[in-house]
Amino acid sequence: MLQRRVCNRQIDSKMDQRLSVITLGTDDLAAMKQFYSEKLGWQSVAENKDIVFYKMNGFLFSLFDRTSLATGVGVAATGNGFRSLVVSCNVPSKQDVDALFGELKAKGVNILKEPQDTPFGGYFFCFADVENNVLEVAYNPYIPLDESGNVITHKNIDNLA
């Protein structure tokens, strides 16, 4: 197996199982920045006229022009509708889901699905940002969180099949 040096340590040639940045292509960067800042209360850690970065729990989430992003990675920027991606924020309890639902609804956020129970004991709701990207707030008893709200693991789900 090939070896490479990263941060003064030898690692094999496989890609590390981690993400550093998730970038969302946007048609209107100013409107998207306003939504994430004003409706969700997120604060950027770096930005310029082309891109905005938000520090998350162990990675960065960025907003960048859709056409420029598509060109940069070599794909077409056209198309709309469901993008086969849902970004989820897990919280420690059903009460936390309800609290966030109330706050976002009061701010006029486009709610796609009201809070509801799941067959496996979870609870969630979905909303959309100003460009119809789907976000979810969820309580999932199979995803334990640490004291900072970071995912610890995913419990075995063999019994749910």
98 domain residue, yes or no: yes
4 domain residue, yes or no: no
Here the CATH number for the domain that contains residue 87 is 3.10.180.10
Same domain, 101 and 42: no
Q: What is the span of the domain harbouring residue 31?
A: 17-72
Q: For residue 61, which of 78, 97, 95, 85 has the smallest C-alpha distance?
A: 85
47 domain residue, yes or no: yes
Sign of CA dihedral 11, 57, 33, 115: positive
Q: Which of 27, 48, 72 is the last residue of a domain?
A: 72
pLDDT tens digits along 119-156: 999 999 999 999 989 999 999 999 999 999 999 999 99
| Total domain count, the chain | 2
pLDDT tens digits along 53-89: 999 999 999 999 999 998 888 888 887 777 768 899 9
